[in-house]
Amino acid sequence: MKIFHSIRPQAVRTWYRIHKWSSLICTAFLLIACITGLPLVFMDELIDLTQPHEHPVATPAGASLVSLDQLVRQTETLYPSLHAYAVALDDDEPRVFVTMTATPNPKSAADLHAVVYDAHTGKQLKQPQFGGSFLDAVFRLHRELFLGLSGELLMGAMSLSFVLSLISGALVYGPFMRRLDFGTYRSQAAARVRWFDLHNLLGIVTLSWALVIGLTGVMNALATPLFGLWRAQTMPALLAPYRGQPVPQRFASIDQAMASAAKALPYMETTSVLFPNAVVGSSRHYIVWTRGKTPMTSRLFTPVLVDASTGQVTVAKALPWYLRLLEVCRPLHFGDYGGLPLKILWALFDVAIIMVLGSGLYLWVSRRRTPIEKELDRLVALKEEESQGV
């Protein structure tokens, strides 16, 4: 590789310094993220295990679905003080989630109350609430340190620092390893050498997984502001024709809104409806979310805006490229797209990263006894002598 012909001692020292500082900045946050991430990988399994839900009755394929309007009316009667926020169809089972809220801008699962129905019989199914549970707390710690949007952005910045530390780490790996075999682990050597070997071995082998997790972590942290940006760019033009008109008191049928959306995008399936909401959606529209029908396209969602007074489609346009990219990459952060074996592998990679963080921290704490800069200078000097000798 040409770039490595001209490694200058100064350049190696710069990479090393970047590696040291970007790692020190993010290590504490990364440890929180990795440790909370471990149970979150198995979130679905843990929820099923600790808070089992009632399953819908078996129905023949093609059985007709219950009216969503009726389910919403039923739920509103149950909770007269709350407003309908959204209706969603479950991915795995024929279930309908009717989500109610007291605030138009729910900040977490605790602000939402979901009532679950059998999609064919309309019978209410027992469902433990996620909001306020232990896993919900772990999830919020992982995502935003209980600090809301600023915490989300902080974790995004830490993810970015992690990516920087991975890249610079891979670059200093070369000079450090040039006289060692790949994967050298000197089990009889001093503690510092053992931790150094472990750091290099685990770090280089898990590098691409860690890069993907770091980059998708940055993207997930930007999801809220990016959706906000898209809303700010899209909504004013769509709402302009309604200016001065009173907000409709009666909304069109949800079933009809779903049907209009399905007709507008025949190659997509409808998955959920967000009720008219001036804060997170449009005060004049249902937002019907649709997605592709193949494994690849099922992660690509397209929103359809349906006029809430007429039930007719206002616009059905694919999201901008940055939001589509976000949607496709999202599962790569969670590891929940390839069954339980992938989740187990995900957890093992996660443990490996915790060990990389721990060993890195150890190497830094024990630095005074063997200044690593001196070691680097020695390694670089060795190389210089060699190249001059030939």
Partner 1 sequence: MSHSFPFRRVYGAAIVLAVITLYGLLSALVGDGIWDALSWVAMAVPLVVIAWKFGSGRRKPTQAANRQ
Q: Which residues bind partner 1 (CB under 8 A)?
A: 1, 4-5, 7, 170, 173-174, 177-189, 197-198, 201-202, 204-209, 212, 295-296, 328, 331-332, 337-339, 341-342, 345, 348-349, 352, 383, 386-387, 389-390
Inter-residue contact 124 to 71 (CB < 8 Å): no
In the bound state with partner 1, the residue whose beta carbon lies nearer, of 183 and 371, is: 183
In the bound state with partner 1, the residue whose beta carbon lies nearer, of 182 and 267, is: 182
Nearest distance, CB of residue 144 and partner 1, angstroms: 25
Pairing status of strand 268-274 against strand 83-89: antiparallel
In the bound state with partner 1, the residue whose beta carbon lies nearer, of 137 and 347, is: 347
Left if phi > 0, otherwise alpha if psi is -120 to 50, otherwise beta: which for 61? beta
In the bound state with partner 1, the residue whose beta carbon lies nearer, of 244 and 389, is: 389
DSSP characters over 217-258:
HHHHHTHHHHHHHHHHHHHHHHHGGGTTPPPPSSPPPHHHHH
Of the CA atoms within 13 Å of residue 235, those in its CB half-sphere come to: 18
Q: How many other CB atoms sit within 10 Å of the CB of residue 365?
A: 8
d(CA 355, CA 302): 40
What contacts 321, CB < 8 A, 6 or more positions away?
Answer: none
Nearest distance, CB of residue 1 and partner 1, angstroms: 4
Left if phi > 0, otherwise alpha if psi is -120 to 50, otherwise beta: which for 183? left
CA 350 distance to own-chain centroid: 15
Nearest distance, CB of residue 367 and partner 1, angstroms: 19
Nearest distance, CB of residue 59 and partner 1, angstroms: 23
In the bound state with partner 1, the residue whose beta carbon lies nearer, of 271 and 298, is: 298
In the bound state with partner 1, the residue whose beta carbon lies nearer, of 10 and 77, is: 10
Residue 390 host element (H or E)? none
Nearest distance, CB of residue 217 and partner 1, angstroms: 14
Nearest distance, CB of residue 45 and partner 1, angstroms: 16
